[in-house]
Amino acid sequence: MNRLAWCAVFLLSCAREPTTPSAPAAPNAPSITDPMPKEMRAALRRVEGIRELKATKPIFGKYISRPDLLAMLRKHAADELPPEALVHEELVLKLLGAIPTEYAFVESQFQTLGAEIAGLYVPIDKTMYLLSDLDPQEAEATLLHELVHALQDQHFDLRNRIHYKKGSGDALSAASALGEGDATYVMLSAVGAPPTPALLRLAITERMKSKSSIPEYIGNSLSSSYIYGYEFAYTLARDGGMGMLNHAWERPPTTSEQILHTAKWRLNEPALPIAAPAMDHKVDDDSLGELGLRLYLELGGSKHDAAIAAAGWGGDRGALSVFGETVQFAWHYRADSDAQGSPALVLGELASVFRRDGTIDNTNGVVCVNRAKGGPLAAVQRGLDVWLVAGPTSSRTWQSQATCADARTALAKLISATAP
Ligand SMILES: [Zn+2]
């Protein structure tokens, strides 16, 4: 899970072009308090009609400037996330090679979100914050989107659903995808016929690609709750209308696998329980989930092959170890026994990701690449299981502290430490 994206999920509205150095905020921009301005009341009626939910309480809102909106985002992240959550996530992504070691992970994401954000809904103070300098079309879409979040909060209690819980990354990914998918679906239905999920995905992916300063993995993870959440909401609304979407809030998807495959949500298929890999100096452990795995495998070059391989996901757990400046990551994956994508496909796709960093060493069935900065990156398959180690390396100098031979020993140790 992208922890900062999760934090921003109920905040980020529709994608938009940054405004040109702009008309300053209208000096008398109204505060959407009581009485609600007429155009807002009209927008609420539209959203209530499409979503088939009525507001049960007044909805509060404010128009604010872009710097104030970014400040609000930073404050919300600081309130919701323990500081080490982002530090650990950054280390894991750098160890995995998903982002460059020199990438300023936290600040760059704030910059990206700050440029893209158009509005946010903050469940803590039950208020919508809308950018004051949007053009009329953007302003309308943003208002519609945030109004849906306000209705979600009144009917389904967003605050409790998106509260950060250590080690629950995949469940939070699923919760944010449900919220963003629902809001995006209703917003797009209110301004015209909702596009097919493939079309929306194309539009968002092209937009992220145009932002060359954002690593591919970050762009994809920031937009994933919109893309896959929309597909989930679109499918449910098509098959069972708003009643089915409400049912998804009453029995929410618990994994990103259930978001990606509505049939698995209907069956309420749980994650396989996987214990955190045994490591000394473990500081964090979490699940990538099917979505996190898929986004990582996409770095190998084929979105199609990544999706097929990740579809075999049954459960996974990764652990980060930090000792002084030495950092290492280990990961244990298990495929469903009736999996569409076999564990061998996962290993093959991992090899494609590793290959970006050099020639693959394939000794004793372990695929491995030696990296000067990140340390060895190695994986092996045993039956339904796949194991991976990344590092050790120095998080201060980013100089590898081991080789593929060490990684093979570490993998053997991990496997033998796990009860069959
Ligand atoms: Zn949203």
pLDDT tier, 419 (very low <50, low <70, confident <90, very high otherwise): low
Give the distance (Å) from ligand 1 centre to CA of residue 281. 37
Which protein residues have their CB within 5 A of the ion that is ligand 1?
180, 183
Give the distance (Å) from ligand 1 centre to CA of residue 80. 17
Give the distance (Å) from ligand 1 centre to CA of residue 68. 18
238 and 155 fall within a common domain: yes
pLDDT for residue 26 = 40
Give the distance (Å) from ligand 1 centre to CA of residue 119. 8
pLDDT for residue 12 = 35
Give the distance (Å) from ligand 1 centre to CA of residue 365. 44
Give the distance (Å) from ligand 1 centre to CA of residue 101. 30
Give the distance (Å) from ligand 1 centre to CA of residue 417. 43
Give the distance (Å) from ligand 1 centre to CA of residue 418. 40
Instruction: Using the 3D structure, point to which of 235, 266, 297 is the last residue of a domain.
Output: 266
pTM of the model: 0.91
96 and 196 fall within a common domain: yes
Give the distance (Å) from ligand 1 centre to CA of residue 172. 14
pLDDT for residue 133 = 87
Select the highest-mean-pLDDT range: 1-10, 131-140, 358-367: 358-367
244 and 328 fall within a common domain: no
On whether residue 273 sits in a domain, the answer given is no
Give the distance (Å) from ligand 1 centre to CA of residue 395. 34
What residues pair up with 119 in beta bridges, in sequence order? 130
pLDDT for residue 337 = 86
Structure confidence by residue, pLDDT tens digits, 260-291: 999 999 999 999 999 999 999 999 999 999 99
262 and 372 fall within a common domain: no
Give the distance (Å) from ligand 1 centre to CA of residue 227. 12
On whether residue 274 sits in a domain, the answer given is no
252 and 288 fall within a common domain: no
On whether residue 196 sits in a domain, the answer given is yes
Give the distance (Å) from ligand 1 centre to CA of residue 231. 15
pLDDT for residue 365 = 94
195 and 306 fall within a common domain: no
Give the distance (Å) from ligand 1 centre to CA of residue 225. 9
On whether residue 148 sits in a domain, the answer given is yes
Give the distance (Å) from ligand 1 centre to CA of residue 116. 12
CB 158 within 8 A of CB 179: yes
For residue 136, what are the CA distances in angstroms to 40, 77, 130, 133, 385?
Answer: 13, 29, 12, 9, 52
pLDDT for residue 19 = 32
Give the distance (Å) from ligand 1 centre to CA of residue 386. 35
Give me the helix-helix angle, 83-96 and 105-116, nearest 10°.
100
Structure confidence by residue, pLDDT tens digits, 306-340: 999 999 999 999 999 999 999 999 999 999 987 66
Average pLDDT in the chain: 89
251 and 289 fall within a common domain: no
Give the distance (Å) from ligand 1 centre to CA of residue 128. 11
Q: Omega of the bond prior to 35 within 30 degrees of 0, cis?
A: yes
Give the distance (Å) from ligand 1 centre to CA of residue 47. 14
On whether residue 410 sits in a domain, the answer given is yes
pLDDT for residue 62 = 87
Cα separation, 253 vs 263, in Å, equals 11
Structure confidence by residue, pLDDT tens digits, 169-206: 999 999 999 999 999 999 999 998 899 999 999 988 88
On whether residue 11 sits in a domain, the answer given is yes
pLDDT for residue 331 = 98
Give the distance (Å) from ligand 1 centre to CA of residue 185. 11
Cα separation, 328 vs 315, in Å, equals 21
257 and 311 fall within a common domain: no
Give the distance (Å) from ligand 1 centre to CA of residue 8. 8
Q: What's the mean pLDDT in 153-167? A: 88
295 and 191 fall within a common domain: no
On whether residue 385 sits in a domain, the answer given is yes
Instruction: Using the 3D structure, point to which of 213, 237, 266 is the last residue of a domain.
Output: 266
Buried b (16+ CB within 10 A) or exposed e, 295-314: bbbbbbeeeebbbbbbbbbb
36 and 87 fall within a common domain: yes
Give the distance (Å) from ligand 1 centre to CA of residue 232. 15
Give the distance (Å) from ligand 1 centre to CA of residue 137. 17
Instruction: Using the 3D structure, point to which of 199, 233, 266 is the last residue of a domain.
Output: 266
| Residue 30 burial class via C-beta count within 10 angstroms: exposed 0-12, middle 13-18, buried 19 and up | middle
Give the distance (Å) from ligand 1 centre to CA of residue 407. 42
163 and 212 fall within a common domain: yes
Give the distance (Å) from ligand 1 centre to CA of residue 180. 5
pLDDT higher at 11 or 35 = 35
Give the distance (Å) from ligand 1 centre to CA of residue 309. 29
Give the distance (Å) from ligand 1 centre to CA of residue 267. 27
Q: Count of domains in the chain?
A: 2
Provide the domain limits for residue 36: 3-266
Q: Is the C-alpha dihedral spanning 272, 291, 349, 354 positive or negative?
A: negative
CB 186 within 8 A of CB 51: yes
On whether residue 272 sits in a domain, the answer given is no
Structure confidence by residue, pLDDT tens digits, 113-130: 888 888 888 888 888 889
Cα separation, 196 vs 185, in Å, equals 10
Give the distance (Å) from ligand 1 centre to CA of residue 82. 22
Give the distance (Å) from ligand 1 centre to CA of residue 4. 14
352 and 205 fall within a common domain: no
